[in-house]
Amino acid sequence: MMRKSFFLVLMVLSLIVRGEDGSRLWLRYDPLSAEKAAEVDQNILHIHADMTKPSLAAGVEELQKAISGFTGRVVPHSTRLQHRSVVMVVGGSRLAGRLGLNAELQAMHRDGFIIRPMVRNRQSYLVIASPTQVGVLYGVFHLIRSIKIDEFSSELTVKSEPKFDVRILNHWDNLNGTVERGYAGRSIWLWNELPGILSPRYKKYARANASVGINAMTPNNVNADPLILSREYLYKVQALANVFRPYGVRMYLSINFASPMVLGGLPTADPLAPAVRQWWIDKVNEIYQMIPDFGGFLVKANSEGQPGPLDFGRTHVDGANMIAEALKPHGGIVMWRAFVYEPDGIDRAKEAYLEFVPYDGQYHPNVTIQAKSGPVDFQPREPFSPIFNGLRKTGVTVEVQITQEYTGWSDHLVYLGLQNAEMLKSETYAFGPGSTVARMTDGSLIPGRVSAFAGVANIGQDANWTGHHFGQANWYAFGRQGWDHTLCPEKIADEWIRQTFTSDPAFREPVREMMMSSLETVIDYMMPLGLHHIFAWDHHYGPEPWCYVPGARPDWLPRYYHQATKEGIGFNRTRTGSGAVDQYEQPLADKFNNLETTPEIFLLWFHHVPWDHKMNSGKTLWDEMAHIYQRGVDSVRSFQKTWDRMEPFVDAERFRHVQSRLRTQIRSAVWWRDAVMLYFQTYSRMPIPLHLERPINDLEYYKQIKLPYLHHN
């Protein structure tokens, strides 16, 4: 009793000294209640694992750290099986054979795991088993999570396998330390120090990813600097890969298609030129000599000025297959991004489909087309990209944003697990009902192809990693949804709250409710009813639907998307307009083509609608917009009230940080409401309903704002 009391005092003092800056993420191993600690003490007395295997050694270290934090007791590692041991078992081993697990493990996904109580020779064990040592590590993190969220018992039985083979973070980090669309400080990759100095943060990063099942990453921007493939930088990449390997995080690289010209001195990067093909073979061989478990390449080609095969009169198929052939002997893959659009196209939303679907079936099996979740560009709400129903013989990777480029940066509390879930469960009807985006991309409907789930990372050097403490939930949710896209986003939010803050229902329930309404809230005060891309020029933080930049491409400007006139507003993508509706399968094509059957959340995405159109609520379109914008503002205000009530449950540092961000979010929501409604009022000529709040400033005031002045930096 004295030992435990002393331990609790030490823990409290430690927290006071360290503060709660958010650096521990959801991996907080703080003391449990006496009852829960006793249950852990009774069931986990020893740990048995082969410490020569790096991932198992990492698992032992993690479990020992967790139990020590939970109970104050050091759990010893035992070289032999003992009563009440956690036993870490890898398929094919002698121990797996003794326990009769080999046949079951052989039939599992290589990353899957089993947690199961077993009794042998009157001794009880809690077995964590997997076909691979990394899979066992995932099982260890699941066990720790079950303790944290009150799901642990002596009868804990779990069988879990990932839905996607590759669950990858795409960092948009530049070699100079800046981060494109990064809102949590500078890049965590200190290239000037590598390979000689390894920041302790690299291991913490790998731990966090492994804890939610993320098994891959690209450290560099898709707008890639060819220098990343130089020998100098490959040594730096190798050093990172060595840190990540025990945690199952494989290294991929974003590459510049013109690298043979820039680094190799070749006169061309033509994918059909023998010298170019040989350059890639030699470069890939060089990489695998240094990083034997290297994953492959992410390629942004012929998009936004990036070089690609079209520059040499070739196709995306030619470029992707050339690199795929170089990677194939090593088991590597190519993730070829579908973010393409033509400057003179009739509809930017159609371009990826038009450029990739005609070549369906011609890509090598180790090529996956990486498509953004929606057809335009990570808007707060988009219909799913029709490329997901168009490519049926080709592997397709879903790319989502974890960083909040279009949802208020790290100022705004927005739980993007909801956005991911909405998109993944969308019906494409490619193979009839049940052909959801998730099943079209996870290998269940298109077997034999790469299955992957990619997220643009929101990680930086800020102490709390993501700039906003609630931004951590988006990293966490991405990992959990990549592992199992059938998980309810509410459950994921609940897990994160319990592990990051507290399990106290007085905190957990209102905060979870706030998170679950946060996506709809940001859509309400930014771009409801299918409005999209009316952001300010370049930085994408605040509203600027009036934006005009001389010489800019039309599809880089908001007017292209909102199409506001005195008659109405919205982009006509029906058969009388751009015809984008016919890139969807039936019955969706006809549903989206009809003004009356289009879901109102996508109304202005697919239709140019009169201002006086009668909505389902009975209001005119104009009045409906006014009410929704006000609803968004009111909802953010309710977030602040909710959070203020949470002060007794949260350390002062994190409480003040979130409180400050919510104040900024409220100001931003009002800015959005007033600027957008005042601007569109110049077309509608209709009054804002009298019972709603009046704009604080006039339109000219908002037109003078050229920078995200409400951002905290």
* Cα gap 439→61, rounded to integer Å: 36
- How do residues 107-153 score in pLDDT, each as one tens digit? 999 999 999 999 998 899 999 999 999 999 999 999 999 999 999 99
Tell me, what's the pLDDT at 4? 46
Close Cβ partners of 420 (under 8 Å, ≥ 6 residues apart): 373, 400, 477, 478, 481, 489
Residue 104 is a catalytic residue? no
Does one domain contain both 352 and 385?
Answer: yes
* Cα gap 217→39, rounded to integer Å: 37
Q: What average pLDDT does this structure show over 461-466?
A: 98
Residues 469/478, Cβ–Cβ less than 8 Å: no
Q: What average pLDDT does this structure show over 460-489?
A: 98
- Least confident range from 223-227, 341-345, 556-560, 611-615: namely 341-345
Q: Does residue 587 sit within a domain?
A: no
Q: What is the DSSP string of 619-684?
A: SBHHHHHHHHHHHHHHHHHHHHHHHHHTGGGS-HHHHHHHHHHHHHHHHHHHHHHHHHHHHHHHHH
> What residues does 78 pair with on adjacent strands?
48
Tell me, what's the pLDDT at 19? 64
Does one domain contain both 134 and 218?
Answer: no
Q: Domain boundary at 160, 179, 207, which?
A: 160
Does one domain contain both 414 and 363?
Answer: yes
User: Please, how many CA atoms are within 13 Å of residue 237, restricted to the half-sphere of its CB?
Assistant: 29
Q: What average pLDDT does this structure show over 436-444?
A: 97
Catalytic residue among 304, 567, 644, 698: 304
Q: Does residue 671 sit within a domain?
A: yes
Q: How many CB atoms lie within 10 A of CB 223?
A: 15
In terms of phi and psi (left: phi > 0; alpha: psi -120 to 50; beta: otherwise), the region of 618 is left
Residue 252, helix vs strand vs coil: strand
Tell me, what's the pLDDT at 139? 98
Does one domain contain both 222 and 323?
Answer: yes
* Cα gap 565→679, rounded to integer Å: 11
Residues 297/252, Cβ–Cβ less than 8 Å: yes
* Cα gap 127→43, rounded to integer Å: 12
Q: Does residue 474 sit within a domain?
A: yes
Q: What average pLDDT does this structure show over 217-238?
A: 98
- How do residues 12-38 score in pLDDT, each as one tens digit? 444 443 469 999 999 999 999 999 999
Residues 105/131, Cβ–Cβ less than 8 Å: yes
**Averaged pLDDT of the chain:** 95
Q: What average pLDDT does this structure show over 194-215?
A: 98
Tell me, what's the pLDDT at 11? 45
Does one domain contain both 154 and 170?
Answer: no
Segment of 189-193, 338-342, 538-542 carrying the highest mean pLDDT: 189-193
Q: Which residue range is the domain that position 490 belongs to?
A: 166-500
Q: What average pLDDT does this structure show over 638-653?
A: 98
Residue with tokens 């799901």: 151
Tell me, what's the pLDDT at 8? 46
Does one domain contain both 223 and 81?
Answer: no
Q: Does residue 708 sit within a domain?
A: no
Q: Domain boundary at 160, 180, 197, which?
A: 160
Domains identified in the chain, total number? 3
Tell me, what's the pLDDT at 6? 40
Interaxial angle between packed helices 417-424 and 471-483, expressed in degrees from 0 to 180 and rounded to the nearest 10? 30
Q: Does residue 67 sit within a domain?
A: yes
Tell me, what's the pLDDT at 148? 97
Does one domain contain both 341 and 300?
Answer: yes
Does one domain contain both 388 and 349?
Answer: yes
* Cα gap 561→568, rounded to integer Å: 13
Residue 180 is a catalytic residue? no
Whichever domain contains 86, its CATH number is 3.30.379.10
Question: In the predicted model, is pLDDT for residue 576 greater than 60?
Answer: yes
- Phi/psi for 158 (5° steps) reads -140, 140
Q: What is the DSSP string of 60-128?
A: HHHHHHHHHHHHS-PPPEESS--TTEEEEEETTSHHHHHTT-HHHHHTS-TT-EEEEEEEETTEEEEEE
Closest CA to 712 of 651, 657, 650, 632: 657
Question: In the predicted model, is pLDDT for residue 710 greater than 90?
Answer: no
Q: What average pLDDT does this structure show over 362-380?
A: 97
Residues 411/400, Cβ–Cβ less than 8 Å: no
Whichever domain contains 637, its CATH number is 3.90.1330.10
Question: In the predicted model, is pLDDT for residue 229 greater than 50?
Answer: yes
pLDDT over 70 percentage in the chain: 96
Catalytic residue among 377, 399, 555, 624: 377
Does one domain contain both 533 and 397?
Answer: no
Whichever domain contains 425, its CATH number is 3.20.20.80
- How do residues 55-110 score in pLDDT, each as one tens digit? 999 999 999 999 999 999 999 999 999 999 999 999 999 999 999 999 999 999 99
Question: In the predicted model, is pLDDT for residue 253 greater than 60?
Answer: yes
Does one domain contain both 342 and 296?
Answer: yes
Residue 520 is a catalytic residue? no
Does one domain contain both 285 and 424?
Answer: yes
Catalytic residue among 62, 173, 225, 405: 405
Q: Does residue 709 sit within a domain?
A: no
140: amino acid identity, one letter: V
Tell me, what's the pLDDT at 236? 98
Q: Does residue 170 sit within a domain?
A: yes
Q: What is the DSSP string of 373-387?
A: SSSSS--SS-PPPTH
> Which pair of structure tokens corresponds to residue 471?
């931004």
Interaxial angle between packed helices 133-148 and 200-211, expressed in degrees from 0 to 180 and rounded to the nearest 10? 80
Residues 400/457, Cβ–Cβ less than 8 Å: no
Does one domain contain both 150 and 196?
Answer: no
Q: What is the DSSP string of 140-207?
A: HHHHHHHHHTT---TT--EEE--SSSEEEEE--B-TTS-BTT--SSS-S--TTTTTT---HHHHHHHH
- Least confident range from 258-272, 388-402, 532-546: namely 532-546
Tell me, what's the pLDDT at 346? 83
- Least confident range from 166-170, 278-282, 345-349: namely 345-349
Interaxial angle between packed helices 471-483 and 489-500, expressed in degrees from 0 to 180 and rounded to the nearest 10? 130
* Cα gap 32→71, rounded to integer Å: 7
R_g over Cα of the chain? 26
Question: In the predicted model, is pLDDT for residue 211 greater than 70?
Answer: yes
Q: Domain boundary at 160, 179, 200, which?
A: 160
Q: pLDDT-based confidence at 1, cuts 50/70/90? A: very low
Q: Does residue 590 sit within a domain?
A: no
Question: In the predicted model, is pLDDT for residue 699 greater than 90?
Answer: yes
Tell me, what's the pLDDT at 708? 57
Q: pLDDT-based confidence at 585, cuts 50/70/90? A: very high
